[in-house]
Structure formats: structure tokens, C-alpha cells
Amino acid sequence: MKTFLAKVGEIDRKYILFDADGVVAGRLAVRIANALRGKDKPTYTPHIDTGNFVIVINAAKIKLTGKKEDRKIYTSYSGYRSGLTHLKASEVRAKKPERIIQDAVWGMLKHGRLGRELYKKLKVYPGAEHPHKAQNPETVKL
């Protein structure tokens, strides 16, 4: 038996559509990260990008469990002195709701060259409309 290793030119990519309406954030992020890495395919190779493109709609309607809406803190640093800002999850949902999903997925990907390449294939939209209808995305039921 030989171990199968995917080659860059042999990878078959498709678009996958996730609807985040009423879905728990962490559970959705796991499914998205696996689709981006290609772990749901039999041709998965750890050091090659074998994943699909992922579109997430209705990010503003994602569900946070427990008291995360008031207690979870998102931090960002501008690089300047006293440029550290803290926002609660409720404030992030009001200003930029797609950040909740993006941060959760980024935490589940590799933090190197491959992870940055995978992260670029994630498209998150706060509403139900998206500009990728021409790619005929495959809808995933959660």
C-alpha cells in the first residue's frame, strides 16, 4: 500500500454555502475550518491546501451560548501607544457581525503560511445576500 499525497494541480475545489441563522458559533466554526482545510475529503493532505471555498451568510443572526454576549471580549491593537481596544460580543455584533465567525475560524486554522492561504478562501456576509451566485455554491444543512 502507498500513502496518497495530493498534488497542487489535482485538487478539485468547489464553493460551499453555510447559513449561520440560529447556529451556535463554535459548532459552525468547526465545520467551516474543516471545509477550508479539506478534512471532509478523502484526498486530505496536511501540508497542501485541499479545501473548498466557503461562503457564510446571515452572520448577524449567529447564536452565542451562555453569557458570551455580555462577557466575551474581542481585543484589537492598532500598533500605536494606548491603541488597545476591547469590545464586548454585543458591540462587535452591532458594528461588524462577521468578525465573530472570522475570529472563531481563524483560531481553528494553522497560524502560518498555509493558514493564511486557507483564511483567504472564507467569505462572510452579515445578511442573506452574497455576490457568489454564479459559482453555484453547494448548501450545507446544519
Q: pLDDT tens, 123-141?
A: 999 999 999 999 999 999 8
Q: 10 pLDDT band (50/70/90 cuts)? A: confident
Outline where the chain has alpha helix (H): 25-37, 68-71, 89-95, 98-108, 113-119
pLDDT of residue 111: 95
Q: What's the grid cell of residue 21?
A: 441563522
How far is residue 71 from each of residues 27, 67, 95, measured CA to CA in Å? Answer: 19, 6, 17
Q: Where are the domains of the chain?
A: 14-129
Distance CA 90, CA 75 (A): 13
Residues above pLDDT 90, as percent of the chain: 89
The CATH number assigned to the domain with range 14-129 reads: 3.90.1180.10
Query: Structure pTM?
Result: 0.92
Whether 1 has a pLDDT exceeding 80, the answer reads no
